[in-house]
Structures are given as C-alpha cells and as structure tokens.
Amino acid sequence: MDKALLKKIYTFLGITFGVAWLGYCIAWGCGASYGGGDFDVVMWLGAVAPAIAMLFCNKSEGIGFDPEAWGISPHFRASWQTYLFAYACPTLLAALTGLLYFASFPEQYDPTAQTFTQGLMDSGLTQEQAAGAVSSMLGMGVLAGPFANILLAVTELLGFQGWLLPKVRELFGEGSSLKASLVVSAVWAFWHAPLYFDGYFYGRGYPGAPAAGLLLGMVFYFLLGFLLCYMTLRTGCILPACLTRSGVTAMAVAAVYFCRGDSLLIVGPGLYGVFGCLALLVFCGLYVLRLLRLERSGKLWHQRKGKKK
C-alpha cells in the first residue's frame, strides 16, 4: 500500500473532521444548538471544511487551479444523460418515498394536501394563498431545488468527491471503483455523526433518540453517498452529484405536504426517514450493478480518459 498516498488521505481527513467537529464542540460549549442562527454559521464552516482540506492537500502537491484535477470540468456533452438523471433524482426519490410510505399507511394519504393547507390557513393565509403556497413550494423544489443549495454542495463535494474518491480509488488500485465508493460513502456518513446528538434531521423527542437517529441518518448518507460517487465516477465531474445533493435537501419534506395526521420524521414520509432510506436502497441496488458493468466494460470516466492517453 502506498504510504505516501495514505498519509495525504489522513491529512485530508484530519482537516475535514477537525474543522467541522471542533466547530460543533465549540458551538455547543457556548450554548448554541442545531436549528439556531448561531449554529448555522458553524454548519456552514463545517460544509466548507472539505474544500479547505482539498486546497491544502493540492497545494502541498503543487497543484493550483485545475478544473480537471478538481473534478469540476463538466464533460457535459459526453455525460448529459447522467446530468439529467442527477437533476431528476431528488424528485424521483421523493416520489418513491411517498409511494412506499402511503402504501404502508394509506389512511395518512391526503392527495389534495388539505391538512398542510389548513395549517397554512391557521397561520393567517387565505385558502387560495395557502393552496398557491403549496403548489409553489412543490414546484420550486422540483424545478429549482437542484440549484438552491448548490454552492454548499460544491464546497462539500469538492473534498469528498473531487479529491478523496480518486485518491481512495488510486490507493486500492484498478478495478476498485465499487470498493472506493463504499469507503468514501461511509466516511462521508460518519462525518455527519455528531449532529444527530443535537436533533439533526429527526428532532429530539423520537423513540430511541439519539441512537436510532444516528444509525438511520448514517445509513441515509451512506446510501446517498454511493449514488453521488457513481455520478462522479461516471462523468469525471462532481457537478451532477452536487445537483442531486442540493435537490435532496430541497425535496426532503415534499411528501409531507400530502400527509394527514401526525408522523415521525424518523419514519417518513420525508426523505430522511426509514422509507426514504428504502427508496435510496432501491436506487443503489440498481446502480451498484451498473457501476460494476461500466467498470468491466471500461466506460467509467477515468477509464475513458486513460484510453485517450
């Protein structure tokens, strides 16, 4: 095993985890908590930590601004199908999550979103305004969601997808794209771990808190991370993964609009719950097979690039 490369990976992880986790600890020590305005600043700092680590590691190797090395060369003409999938993926995941949840709990299905609309009316909106707000939120999530949080997605994935994924694949050698994807996805999921002790995703009052939320949240990020790795390996660019990462945040509660009665966030019908993980598992099962098939046929981006040389 290449010890020099392993040392670079440890350096990247040390900066990425150190900046984010130290920031959380300082914030908690100062009395801030997840959901507060002060903690949002810490969350932003944590999100840019991977990009900071990437810049540091590249500088130590003498690599300046290089779109290809950074994983931001779009390669759109050769990869437009993956971009289209990445754009639509959050909506497809939200739809499948809702389908699975309401098939299991049909009594909670509210096809006209009347319950959610009534909640908006109780806050002072007219019926027309409330109905328009629901349509607007849903439409904006579908159409603009993949761009709404894309800047933070880029800073996060510049490190994990643009730098760490190729390095881990290089460490493991040829034919290791699946193994590298699983490792990077696990690391990315673990990076979020401390937040679940402060109500991340699921709040604080759910059964089994915080252990159940920690376990389910890490499963969610692991599965999502694999999909993002597939997109990056397929295209040689992090931008499709960024579209999906941003869109998932925007569409996280879309199915909740059509839910009647109380539901636990850790169960569903939001994307972060059990049924969201099941929907992700369906997608990951399909794309594990596709990743293996593409690697065997030499059609992943790094293989096509190697052939050109």
Instruction: Locate 39 and state its tokens.
Output: 């903690």
Give the sign of the dihedral formed by CA 299, CA 302, CA 306, CA 309.
Answer: positive
> How far is C-alpha 24 from the geometric centre of its chain's CA atoms?
20
pLDDT of residue 304: 65
Beta bridge partners of 259: 109
307 falls in which pLDDT band (50, 70, 90)?
Answer: very low
Q: What is the pLDDT of residues 31-68, one digit of tens each?
A: 999 988 889 999 999 999 999 999 999 999 899 999 99
Prediction pTM value:
0.95
- Residue 141: half-sphere exposure toward Cβ, Cα within 13 Å: 22
What's the pLDDT tens digit per position in 83-116? 999 999 999 999 999 999 999 999 999 999 998 9
Confidence grade of residue 2 (pLDDT, cut at 50, 70, 90): confident
Torsion on CA atoms 115, 117, 119, 124, rounded to nearest 10? -160
How many CB atoms sit inside 10 A of residue 299's CB?
Answer: 11
Mean pLDDT, the chain, integer:
93
What residue segments make up the domains of the chain, in order of their start?
A: 75-308
**Of residues 187, 177, 183, 239, the one with CA closest to residue 49:** 187
Is pLDDT at 308 greater than 50 in this prediction? no
Nearest Cα residue to 42 out of 12, 59, 22 = 22
